Each structure stands twice: as C-alpha cells, then as structure tokens.
Structure 1
C-alpha cells in the first residue's frame, strides 16, 4: 500500500481533529526515511476526575496493536511540575515510546485494536501534545 493510501485510510478512521495527526502531519511523518526508528513524546492532560481511568482503559486495550507495530515504551511518568515560556504548561504526564519506523506507527493507527482503544484515549484526554522525533537525531546520555 502506498503512503498516500495509508494516510487516506487513517484519516477515514480517525479524522483530523488535532488529537489525531492531520493529513499534513501524516505526510510529514511518512516522509521520514524508510526504516528510520521514530520516537513519540506525548504530553498528556487528563479530563478532571475521569480522565486517568479512561486513559487507563486505552492503555489496557492498545497493547496488542502497540506490540504488533513493534512499539516499545521507554518511559511513562506523572508530571510533578510544569513550566515554559509560552503555551500550555499544565500537563499531567508524559510518555516516550519508540517505533521501528513511521510505517510501523501508521500501521498501529490502522490496527483494529487501536481503532477500538482510541475511543477510551479520547474519553480521557483534555489536551495532548505529540512530538515525532527521528531516533537517529535524538540524544541520550
């Protein structure tokens, strides 16, 4: 399947709401060199009172899709304090995950288990910020 057809299928399933990458976002993601591992840094703001539980349901359901895509969680942690120069600084948690490639990430979004689990993800999040980072450009000590 071509990248364009993959993107069309993802948009048909998830839309372009901001909680899901837009067509332009996917085009940028899929333009990464084939086989280049990608890191996903996700900042999360949960809906008060119910968000953590709903997001927990997502985590419980998404495992098969995450594993099928070759995903690996590097860390998850609650935010103790947040600060910044501009924009949102009120985050509850951060997740850093790695996928073998942009294509693997896209295939996860097409996996029936992710499609189903994503409903719980959306029920749990008030806001999120996702950064896609080429693994070969990341610096770790």
Structure 2
C-alpha cells in the first residue's frame, strides 16, 4: 500500500491552526514533492499543455506573489533538499522553504482571498505531496541544537 499524500490541510489541522494565537508573527515550513507532469483539471487554461510539476508550482509562486506580499508575507529561507538523512526514504522533497507572515491572520486572509483560491490550482496541479508546518519563530536561538 502506498504512503498517503498530502496536498491541502485537513479540517482538524485547520481548526488547530486557527485556535493558536493569531496576532504573533509565524513562519511556515514548506516541503514539496513535485509531479513529473502537472495535472490541471479539464477547463483550466493549462490543461493538456504538458507543463511539468515545477513549471506549475513556479506559476503558483509567480501569480500569487502580489497577494503574499500585500499581506506582509516574505520568504525567509529556501533550499533544495538533497537527501533525507534521517527519516523515511519515501519522503524526498524537491523544494523546501520557509515563508513568514506578520501574523496568522495574514495567512488565513491569503488562503481565503478569492483570487488566491483560483490561482492555487497551479499548486494543486504540480504538487505530488507536501508538508506545511506552522512554527513560532525564535528570535535569538541558543548556541546548541534545540536551544
């Protein structure tokens, strides 16, 4: 049996997210596994055009950037995963980045924005699996791991 995949939050996780403090700065760790070929739904302008998952995901980033920035969001770190040293080999990722929002309300406003909701089709078309982890930033981490 194949491992489950995750593209969007489930209801329970979304309710937990909304129950956490809303007025504080948050960071969202994104881990993304891309599809070799994007799968747009029938009727979408990019359906059947042969775009790769990476092309679709980049279209998502480009077309939603103005919404992300308008709400005070910024990307604070990005990297290209090379190998999972500790963890399941099935969890290999193509993209990893941390997006920061001035508060949880900004993230909620982004995902509820009608234009964003239309444009997220690019993300859905290109993503095979993903993880999205809300984090509270630590402004002055200690010198040792976990401090």
- How many Å apart are 1:58 and its aligned residue? 0.4
Are 1:70 and 1:104, in contact at CA under 8 Å, matched by a contact in 2? yes
Deviation string for 1:35-67 (max 9, x for gaps)?
111110010101115110110110111112101
More helix as a share of residues:
1
Q: Which one is further off, 89-98 or 28-37? A: 28-37
On the 8 A contact 1:78/1:92 being kept in 2, the answer is: yes
Does the C-alpha gap of structure 1 residues 33 and 55 become closer, same or farther in structure 2, counting only changes over 3 Å? same
**Structural mapping, 1:118-129, within 5 Å:** 118-129=120-131
Residue 36 (1) aligns with residue 38 (2): no
Mapping of 1:1-141 within 5 angstroms? 18-49=6-37, 50-86=52-88, 88-136=90-138, 139=141
After superposition, the Cα gap between the structure-2 partners of 1:48 and 1:138, relative to the gap in structure 1 and judged at 3 Å, is farther
Counterparts in 2 of 1:77 and 1:66: CA distance versus 1, 3 Å: same
Deviation at 1:68, TM superposition (A): 2.2
Max radius of gyration: which structure? 2
Measured in 1, the distance between the counterparts of 2:140 and 2:9 equals 21
Give unpaired runs (5+ residues) of structure 2.
38-51
In structure 1, stretches of 5+ residues that fail to align are: 1-16
1:135 match: secondary structure: coil
- Relative to the length of structure 2, the TM-score reads 0.75
Distance apart, 1:112 and its partner CA:
2.3
Aligned residue-pair number: 125
CA contact (8 A) 2:30 2:98 kept: yes
Q: Which residue of 1 aligns with 2:45?
A: none
Counterpart CA distance in 2 for 1:107 and 1:115 is 11
- Distance in 1, Cα, partners of 2:90 & 2:105: 30
SS in 2 for 1:107: helix
